[in-house]
Amino acid sequence: MRDLAIAAALIRRRSAREPLGETTGGNLHVGGVPKVLEVFLGDERIAVEAEPVDGGFAVTADGDDLGTVTLDWRRGVALARLTIDGTVRSIRVDPVSAGYRLRHRGLDLVAKVYSPRVAELAALMPVKEAPDTSNLLLCPMPGLIVSLMVKEGETVQAGQALAIVEAMKMENVLRAERQATVKRLAVEEGDSLAVDETIMEFETTA
């Protein structure tokens, strides 16, 4: 969740300084965007401070120093690649009012990005809950199912590889978020999927 908040904040900063279709250097001043942005993800509120540095942004999230974070994204592109401590997260990005719809490894969340002052007012407004996709593995981007690495009835562990999706000539490994049992495989190897199509369903737990 925090990684998605960081992605939303950095995308907000990038989109503010990059005209559509143009690419700018990583050290340009971001006019009009506060150094600290408040990101709302459901009922979570995360303060992200980002300062442009050589190679990316010096990022602090809720007081935790995350060092240099890089974001490979520009306006008009639907896929962002966020790198934190050497780990790359591929995130589907679609703009919505005051923020972005972000999809990553079965998570489908709307991130609202505000200045601290506006965030105080936004916190008073009711939050619309995102649909529950916790028992589904959804395709995070249009792509080809290269490999299904589990079978129906199999119990998987957190972090275990579930499937490989090829998109934009890159293979993306989708992993389990937690321990679960595979209830149903909705696709076969070689299938081409659109965003948010179901790859597999898990047994829900009480």
For residues 124-142, one letter each, b for 16 or more C-beta atoms within 10 angstroms of the residue's C-beta and e for the rest, the string is eeeeeeeeeeeebbbbbbb
- pLDDT value of residue 128: 62
Asked if 50 contacts 9 with a C-beta cutoff of 8 angstroms, the reply is: yes
Q: What domains appear along the chain, each with residue ranges and CATH number?
A: 2-122 (3.30.700.30), 136-202 (2.40.50.100)
Percent of the chain with pLDDT over 70: 87
Q: Please give the structure tokens belonging to residue 106.
A: 């079965």
Q: Please give the structure tokens belonging to residue 57.
A: 């942004």
Q: How does pLDDT run across 87-109, given as a tens digit for each residue?
A: 999 999 998 988 999 998 878 88
- pLDDT value of residue 30: 42
Q: Please give the structure tokens belonging to residue 28.
A: 């340009």
CA 198 to chain centroid: 17
Q: How does pLDDT run across 35-91, given as a tens digit for each residue?
A: 889 999 877 889 999 988 988 999 999 989 999 999 999 888 889 999 998 899 999
Q: How does pLDDT run across 51-63, given as a tens digit for each residue?
A: 889 889 999 999 8
Question: Mean pLDDT throughout 27-36?
Answer: 57
Is pLDDT at 194 greater than 80 in this prediction? yes
Global pTM value? 0.55
